[in-house]
Structure 1
Amino acid sequence: MTSRRDFLTSAALLATGTLVAPSLLAAPKKRTIGIQLYTVRDAMAKDPAGTLAQLAKIGYNSVEGASYTGSQQFYGLTPKAFAALLKQNGMIIPSSHYRLGEEQENGAPVRGTMLHEWDRAVDDAAAAGVKYMVCAYLSEAERGGLDHYKYVADQLNKAGERCRKSGLQLCYHNHDFEFQAQDGGQLPYDLLLATDPKLVQMELDLYWVSKAGRDPIALFKQHPGRFPLWHVKDMDRTEKKFFTEVGNGSIDFKRIFAQAKLAGLKYFFVEQDSTPGSPFESVSKSMAYIKKNLS
Structure 2
Amino acid sequence: MSHIPVAVQMYTLREESHKDFEGTLRKVAELGFEGVEFAGYGDLTVKEVRTLLDELGLQAVSSHVGIEELENDLQKVIEDQKTLGSRFIVCPYVGEELRNKKGYRNIISILDEVGARCRKEGLTLCYHNHDFELEQLPYGRTALEMIFSETDDQNVQAELDVYWLKKAGENPVEWIQRHQNRVPLIHLKDMTTDAEQFFAELGTGGVDIEAVLDTGEDAGVKWWIVEQDISRLTPFESLEISLKYLKTKLPHLSKLY
Class of the TM-score when normalised by the shorter of the 2 chains: over 0.9
The residue identity in structure 1 corresponding to 2:48 is A
Q: Which residue of 1 aligns with 2:84?
A: 128
TM-score (norm 2): 0.93
Please give the alpha-carbon distance, in whole angstroms, between the structure 2 residues aligned to 1:192 and 1:259: 22
Residues 13-67 of structure 1, C-alpha deviations (whole Å, 9 max, x = no match): xxxxxxxxxxxxxxxx976221000000111111111111111111112000001
Q: Which residue of 2 aligns with 1:96?
A: 63
In the alignment, is the contact (CA less than 8 A) between 1:254 and 1:294 conserved in 2? no
Larger Cα-atom Rg: 1
Compute the displacement of 1:226 (Å): 0.9
Q: Structure 2 vs 1, CA of residues 100 and 31 (structure 1 numbering), >3 Å: closer, same or farther? A: closer
Q: Which residue of 1 aligns with 2:201?
A: 245
Q: Which residue of 2 aligns with 1:83?
A: 50
SS in 1 for 2:37: strand
Q: Which residue of 1 aligns with 2:143?
A: 188
TM-score (norm 1): 0.81
Structure 2 segments unaligned to the other structure (5+ residues)? 252-257
Q: Which residue of 2 aligns with 1:146?
A: 101
Please give the alpha-carbon distance, in whole angstroms, between the structure 1 residues aligned to 2:101 and 2:218: 29
More helix by share: 2
Q: Percent identity?
A: 37
Residues 186-210 of structure 1, C-alpha deviations (whole Å, 9 max, x = no match): 1110111021011100000010011
Q: Which residue of 1 aligns with 2:190?
A: 234
Please give the alpha-carbon distance, in whole angstroms, between the structure 1 residues aligned to 2:218 and 2:134: 21
- Give the one of 1, 4, 8 matched to 1:35: 8
The residue identity in structure 2 corresponding to 1:66 is A
SS in 2 for 1:225: coil
Residue 68 (structure 2) pairs with residue 119 (structure 1): no
In the alignment, is the contact (CA less than 8 A) between 2:4 and 2:222 conserved in 1? no
Compute the displacement of 1:185 (Å): 2.6
Residues 215-269 of structure 1, C-alpha deviations (whole Å, 9 max, x = no match): 1222233322111100001001110101010111001111111111232200011
The residue identity in structure 2 corresponding to 1:168 is L
Q: Structure 2 vs 1, CA of residues 121 and 262 (structure 1 numbering), >3 Å: closer, same or farther? A: same
CA RMSD of aligned residues (A): 1.4
In the alignment, is the contact (CA less than 8 A) between 2:162 and 2:187 conserved in 1? yes
- Give the one of 45, 64, 87 matched to 2:18: 45
Residue 178 (structure 2) pairs with residue 222 (structure 1): yes
